[in-house]
Amino acid sequence: MSAQLPPCLLWSPDDHRPLEEYQTGIPRWCVGCGDNAILAAVQRLCRDESLSPERTVFVSGIGCSSRLPHYMRAYGFHGTHGRALPIAEGVKMARPDLTVFVTTGDGDCLSIGAAHWLHALRYNMDLTVLLHDNHIYGLTKKQVSPTSPIGTRSNTTPKGSFLPPLNPLTVTLGVPNASFVAQAVDWIPEVLYQILSAAYRHKGTSFVRILQRCPEFMPGMFDPWVRDPSRTLLLRHEKALTLSPAVAATYRNQREHDPSDMNAAREIASVDDPIPVGILYHDPSAPRYEEIRNGGSVRTRETIRRGLEAELDRLTIWPEAPAAGA
Amino acid sequence: MRAYRGAAPPENPPAAPPHAPGSSSALHVPTLERPVTQPRRALRRAIDEHVVEIVSDSGEGAQRCGQSFGAIAARSGLGIWTVEIIPAEIQPPARSVAGASGNRIRIASRPVTNGGDEVDLVVAFNEQVLRGRVEAGELRPGATILLESAWSNDRDPQIAREYAETREELVAHGYRVIDIPMDAESRKIVSDPRRGKNMFALGMLCLIYGLDLRLAREQIALTFGKKDQAVIDQNVRLLEAGWAWAERELDLRYELKAMPVTAPQVVMNGNTAIALGILASGMEICAMYPITPATSASHYLTEVFERVGGIVHQAEDEIAACAFAIGASYAGKCAVTITSGPGFSLKQEGIGLAVMTEIPLVVVDVQRGGPSTGQPTKPEQGDLLAAMFGAHGDAPKVVLAVSGIEDCFYAMITARKIAETFNTVVIVLSDGSLATAQQPIPRPAFSEEWLAPPVDQSPVPEGALPYDWDATTGLIRRWIPGQPGGMHTITGVAHDRAGHIAYDATSNEDGLRHRSLKLAALQRTLRCPSVFGGDDGDLLIVGWGSTKGAIEEAVERLRAEGRRVSSLHLGFIQPLPSGVGEILRRFRKVVTVEMAWADRPEDALIDEDNRRYSPLAMLLRSRFLVDVDCWTDVSGRPMRPGAIRDAMIDRLTSV
């Protein structure tokens, strides 16, 4: 299959496609929803990487963010709540030649799908995972989520939520074989795009947490950070993000961070104000489950026949035995 | 010592109660006299069949002994059915009543399809595990017990006393107890008899049943083939020692007429057959999570796929295993997930998703006792309705049940084909009694037609819709990622023909109608199973799944007694083939026989308004408006023909 060929051999001028090639339908998200910014960045990525729509699959769970596949002109699987990752793993195992994206939310990934999240990181299959984290359940109309700040008033916590929020970055960085961990925000589209691009190019599970505004149920949640650029900590490194002059001029709170440094990554991840934005951790050499398991390998009819006959041979009684009874 | 419990459920006393509590030792059979020096020229008693058990503590090799004995008998041309005796714990304490580990082998001079009734002869490595079997009613009255005698002079006086007391009681209850110094005799060959007496016992059994010693030696070579020659030689010496000892000391000799073996046969258990069926079907990906008693199918499949290619993915949980299989199916060939009751409950969400998105999926449920954790190592048929109606909403899917070892193999090929032809979920119901039961079956002859076609990657015609349901059959042609022009998003949300989320009434009804029509389309291709026995009569037994062999044997016995009894066994349960209702109406009385719970009419509060019928009875009653009764057994034992026969006599007399 084409996946076995180097991309340079496959490229042709026809592969340049306009943005419209990847668009379909009109998103039904609320006005001002951060999901729109993520969708735009993803469509731009597909165009710039000249992804073939028929060889690209978007898998999602349930929630506002999980509607994204419906707005992409590609193959999509809008699954069940929390299960986007195992579905995507099955897709990738059967067909490593396909490009697979996963879009999920803080409820979908970190709550009902939490077990799958941790194990997906271990499997480290070549998936680009976008965690749309708006700190609230939107589609079910405002319930506290695992990342809601303590004290969040919601329909299930009218007097304020009880527990401190989960930090998806530190948890992710604690899982052995996690190979790409980044954080983006929907309100800096250029950096969001850069991070998605690096995530897509990484071979392995790229986990990108995207802080995403929900104007309907968490209005003003990120306003202090949106308004004050100094409360964003931009991570730059020659092996990670290089910032454009415009971005660098606006977001001056920067830190040089080598994404191969796990200890520094964990330290950065544990701070939520200023919000770290950039690639926290990147290990291009982490083993990938679909490679280890030889996913997508083709068996011939002859292989199956021979395999079956060999097994049957081991279990067969041949009709040469003498009669019982002495 | 507690009173022994009888073999049968209370409403169904066997013709001769084996051993009522406190009964006198009227059935006393004197045990063997002290050794004689000359080999006994004992006459062989001709028998048609015997049920033999070998029981020990875990790790003493009784299972290997039993399996080898079964294999030798099968190679000798005898009909066999073997059942594993598995304690619930991995390492139960030594000499514990609940800790019996071993094998039950039914051998006969004709093909056998089930484990039979009570045990005729048992080899026990200690008296405590034997007690467990006796108390569970597994032994026939007067059965022969070959008992390890080393415990009688154990250094621990408590053990010696327990042994003496139990032995005495067994004799008092009429069992023929024969002391066998297996430990002492094996010690002459190996330093640790725990690692050798199983082959000594095998040698005795071969002598007793007149099996060829050459075949036994070959079987040992096969069994220990992976180890070095010294191990094989030592085990052969033990085998021969057991044979020689029994020839010299025992007067037990049986003869079973063998059937000529004319065609190659394979001996395997149900789970192995399922795994081989998966290989033969061309399915390439199996996602699973460990659960008893299903896991051994995945173990074996893993081994096979190592050699042939294919992937068994052990997922982080049952839900993930199901979702993984669905993802693999969606992007390629139909995949399979294998589980048992509790895991099956967890997979229901995924099953609903596959039904709604019309992704082919095969789900194997090797049923065990339930609900909840229930009885992991014991069989039950309690999942039928969960298989049919388990997912929420209307989620039509195909449910078929396997009725024997051969069926386990071919059902997987059928299941894959139906799943891909109808783009739906096929649930295959097996159970714990088939999972570990071994039987020789005709060796399958490979056919290319069994295999899945290559993944379709052809362009999709312009203007085609992904859910363009056929008005008559409800069928769609599914598009697989990679097919140019076929880009669309499938969703578990209600959707229209374009695959778009649609909440309008017309689209919703459209989807429900066509997903349901697919079952009718399949149903039109099914043949009604034939009636076993006579075309009409006083009583029709209806069964499904693993009980087929036991039910048909019971019917044979009843017909031999002059009763007008027949049986009908269902493989496809959803959809049900046409013609079943017509068959039911030809009999004066219809009773389902199932290993599932049904309210007992004799309970004070139970009447016709509240009686909960067993699953199949409930289905047949509701579909055909026939007054179907049920008889069920939830003892956790594989169904016994004798118990069915007795229960049906009851039903016949109450007609």
Q: Decide if B395 touches A, using CB distance below 8 A.
A: no
The pLDDT of residue A13 is above 90: no
Q: Residues A231-246: what's their mean pLDDT?
A: 96
A47-62 burial by CB neighbour count: b if 16+ within 10 A, else e?
bebebbbbbbbbbbbb
pLDDT at residue number B98: 87
pLDDT at residue number B262: 85
- Percent of chain A scored above 90 by pLDDT? 88
Q: Is B44 in contact with A325 (Cβ distance < 8 A)? A: yes
pLDDT at residue number A17: 84
Other CB atoms within 10 Å distance of the CB of residue B561: 10
The pLDDT of residue A1 is above 50: no
Shortest distance between the Cα of B338 and any Cα of chain A, in A, equals: 15
Shortest distance between the Cα of B472 and any Cα of chain A, in A, equals: 27
Residue scoring higher pLDDT (B183 or A320): B183
The pLDDT of residue B56 is above 90: yes
The pLDDT of residue A11 is above 80: no
Tell me the average pLDDT of chain A: 93
Q: Is B492 in contact with A78 (Cβ distance < 8 A)? A: yes
Give residues 324 to 353 of B whose Cβ lies within 8 Å of A: 324-333, 335, 349-350, 352-353
pLDDT at residue number B6: 36
Q: Which two tokens stand for residue A238?
A: 């020659």
Rounded Cα–Cα distance for residues A103 and A210 (Å) = 11
Q: Is B255 in contact with A57 (Cβ distance < 8 A)? A: no
Q: Which two tokens stand for residue B399?
A: 């449910």
Q: Which residues pair with B544 in a beta bridge?
A: B570
Testing the interface with B: which of A68, A103, A315, A320 to mutate, by most B Cβ within 10 A? A315
**Residues on chain A touching B488 (C-beta within 8 angstroms):** 75-76
The pLDDT of residue B260 is above 90: no
Nearest CB to B211; choose among A78, A299, A324: A324
The 3-class secondary structure across A3-52, one letter per residue, is HHCCHHHHCCHHHCCCHHHHECCCCCCCCCCHHHHHHHHHHHHHHHCCCC
What is the tens place of the pLDDT at every residue in B75-94? 899 999 999 998 878 888 99
**Residues on chain B touching A79 (C-beta within 8 angstroms):** 323, 326, 353, 492
Residue scoring higher pLDDT (B223 or B304): B304
- pLDDT category at B18 given cuts 50, 70, 90 is very low
Q: Decide if A69 touches B, using CB distance below 8 A.
A: yes
Q: Decide if A304 touches B, using CB distance below 8 A.
A: yes
Q: Is B210 in contact with A323 (Cβ distance < 8 A)? A: no
The pLDDT of residue B393 is above 50: yes
Nearest CB to A86; choose among B257, B284, B320: B320
Closest chain A CA to residue B498: A70
Give residues 493 to 532 of B whose Cβ lies within 8 Å of A: 493, 500-501
pLDDT at residue number B4: 40
DSSP B214-248: HHHHHHHHHHTTTS-HHHHHHHHHHHHHHHHHHHH
Tokens 């009227």, located at residue: B26
- pLDDT category at B154 given cuts 50, 70, 90 is very high
Amino acid sitting at position B504: D
**Residues on chain A touching B315 (C-beta within 8 angstroms):** 86, 119
CB pairs under 8 A between A and B: 230
**Residues on chain B touching A76 (C-beta within 8 angstroms):** 487-491
The pLDDT of residue B32 is above 70: no
Q: Is B440 in contact with A321 (Cβ distance < 8 A)? A: no
Q: Is A317 in contact with B482 (Cβ distance < 8 A)? A: no
The pLDDT of residue A278 is above 80: yes
* Architecture of the domain whose range is A18-314: 3-Layer(aba) Sandwich (3.40)
What is the tens place of the pLDDT at every residue in A23-69? 998 899 999 999 999 999 999 999 999 999 999 999 999 999 999 99
- pLDDT category at A12 given cuts 50, 70, 90 is low
| DSSP character at residue B535 | S
- The count of C-alpha atoms lying within 13 angstroms of the C-alpha of A121, restricted to the half-sphere facing its C-beta, is 26
Nearest CB to A80; choose among B304, B324, B349: B349
pLDDT at residue number B175: 97
Testing the interface with A: which of B213, B324, B408, B412 to mutate, by most A Cβ within 10 A? B324
**Residues on chain A touching B273 (C-beta within 8 angstroms):** none
Evaluate whether ipTM surpasses 0.90: yes
The pLDDT of residue B226 is above 60: yes
Q: Residues B596-607: what's their mean pLDDT?
A: 97
**Residues on chain A touching B257 (C-beta within 8 angstroms):** 323, 325
Q: Decide if B596 touches A, using CB distance below 8 A.
A: no
Q: Residues B556-576: what's their mean pLDDT?
A: 98
pLDDT at residue number B200: 97
Q: Decide if B210 touches A, using CB distance below 8 A.
A: yes
Closest chain B CA to residue A3: B482
Nearest CB to A119; choose among B282, B316, B444: B316
- Burial (CB < 10 A; 0-12, 13-18, 19+), residue B136, is middle
The pLDDT of residue B340 is above 70: yes
- Percent of chain B scored above 70 by pLDDT? 93
pLDDT at residue number B91: 82
Q: Is A77 in contact with B327 (Cβ distance < 8 A)? A: yes
pLDDT at residue number B35: 43
What is the tens place of the pLDDT at every residue in A129-148? 999 999 999 999 999 999 99
Sheet of A56-60: strand order equals: A254-256, A232-236, A275-282, A180-185, A206-211, A127-133, A99-105, A56-60, A75-78, B489-491
Q: Which domains does chain B have, with CATH numbers?
A: 45-255 (3.40.920.10), 267-450 (3.40.50.970), 456-511+519-525 (no CATH), 537-653 (3.40.50.920)
The 3-class secondary structure across chain A, one letter per residue, is CHHHCCHHHHCCHHHCCCHHHHECCCCCCCCCCHHHHHHHHHHHHHHHCCCCHHHEEEEECCCCHHHHHHHECCEEEECCCCCHHHHHHHHHHHCCCCEEEEEEEHHHHHHHCHHHHHHHHHHCCCEEEEEEECCEECCCCCEECCCCCCCCCECCECCCCCCCCCCHHHHHHCCCCCCEEEEEECCCHHHHHHHHHHHHHCCCCEEEEEECCCCCCCCCCCHHHHHCHHHEEEEECCCCCCCCHHHHHHCCCEEECCCCCHHHHHHHHCCCCCEEEEEEEECCCCCCHHHHCCCCCCCCHHHHHHHHHHHHHHHEECCCCCCCCC
- The count of C-alpha atoms lying within 13 angstroms of the C-alpha of A118, restricted to the half-sphere facing its C-beta, is 10
**Residues on chain B touching A78 (C-beta within 8 angstroms):** 489-493
CA angle, residues B239, B241, B242, in degrees to nearest 5 = 65
Q: Decide if A18 touches B, using CB distance below 8 A.
A: no
Q: Is A87 in contact with B330 (Cβ distance < 8 A)? A: yes
pLDDT at residue number A14: 54
Q: Decide if A80 touches B, using CB distance below 8 A.
A: yes
Q: Decide if A245 touches B, using CB distance below 8 A.
A: no
Closest chain A CA to residue B458: A54
pLDDT at residue number A25: 83
Nearest CB to B265; choose among A93, A294, A317: A317
Q: Is A305 in contact with B446 (Cβ distance < 8 A)? A: yes
The pLDDT of residue B12 is above 90: no
- Burial (CB < 10 A; 0-12, 13-18, 19+), residue B257, is middle
Q: Is A297 in contact with B350 (Cβ distance < 8 A)? A: no
Q: Is A326 in contact with B210 (Cβ distance < 8 A)? A: yes
The pLDDT of residue B38 is above 70: no
The pLDDT of residue B531 is above 80: yes
Rounded Cα–Cα distance for residues B223 and B238 (Å) = 14
The pLDDT of residue A178 is above 50: yes
Q: Is A316 in contact with B443 (Cβ distance < 8 A)? A: yes
Q: Decide if A51 touches B, using CB distance below 8 A.
A: no
